[in-house]
Structure 1
Amino acid sequence: MTEQIRPEVVVLLGNRIRAVRQGKDLSVVKLAELSGVSRRMLTQIELGQANPSIATVDRIASALGTTFPALAGVLGEGPPEGVEVWSTPNGSWASLLQAVQTSQVFVEMWKWHLVGGDRYHVSPAAGAPETMAHVLQGQLLVRSGSSDLRVDAGGSARIGNTADHTFEAGTDVAVFLGVVTMPRL
């Protein structure tokens, strides 16, 4: 299952990206240059016509001097239930619950619900330290290259950010909390 941001979140992000870009008096061409995202893709994102990866939105946010959580409305006094950012037709989902920032890092807390057969691919962010996961229900399987990490309910793990990895349910359903730290650039 490929990574898909929920359609209503795509529209929300597109509107906020456009507003921040225009507020900074940046053209789409200049934002494309700063973010490394093509002008065409940026236009489609702003119009809610493209479903970018979270990594792509992170690059755009960084170029705008903001963050994915800020664009999603979770930074600071966001909704107490967070924002359901990702979901699949099978019933898997991920919600960005909360985020905080310091002068050096952004910290995001996610809640995941993965059903068997669904997976979520993660590409490491430059300079990001390890991700932490705590499994609330079931078993989480983290695949990276030739190695697998299994974490049972009640267990926690640190997941390296030096290589791509995939989250999967090791049983029928895996529910876990994830904490991601991103360096401020």
Structure 2
Amino acid sequence: MIVACLHTAQSNVALYEAAAPGAFRLRHTVRPDLLARAGQGSDAGLLAEVQALLGGLAEGADAVLLTCSSLAAAARPPALAADHALARAALARGGTLDVILAAPSTMAAARALYGPRPGLRLVALPEAWARFLAGDVDGYLAEVSAATGASGAHTVALGQSSMAPVAAMVSRPVLTVPSAAFAALEATCG
């Protein structure tokens, strides 16, 4: 299966390659300029541009995956917003849920995506995001790891693709965006 991925951070390419099951072949398009614009506020023009880009990526692909949580609102079928797959998997587990987020541009989208739910907590780590943007990925992952370890929730969902390496840094099971996205693709396209 050929999956066309739209990323807004180059570092996500390796994360999705590592998480992809063997039957998937990935094509990557990286557009950091879209994340920079989303950080200034997603507007209708930006979302329309991303939708058009996703439509173009669908040509010759079996599936299209949008890996940026800040732009997830632009995903329309056949494109899948990876963080939507994470939300479905996390909410299906029941019990208390902590969703770890760092990029301020993802907070409003996460509130809308997860909705009001007893036992849900959106854990914001804006200082960690500042580290990520400054290129201090180790510091970023350390802060996310600490928040994950401090969680008392039944389920912890790492709400951004860039957080996926934390799954190997903590002793508890966590849900990651790349793994949830590929599980959703396997279920729908398998």
- Greater strand fraction, Structure 1 or Structure 2: 1
User: TM > 0.5 between the two?
Assistant: no
What is the TM-score with the length of structure 1 in the denominator?
0.30
Q: Which has the larger radius of gyration?
A: 1
Higher relative CO (CA 8 A, sep ≥ 6), structure 1 or 2?
Answer: 2
What is the TM-score with the length of structure 2 in the denominator?
0.30
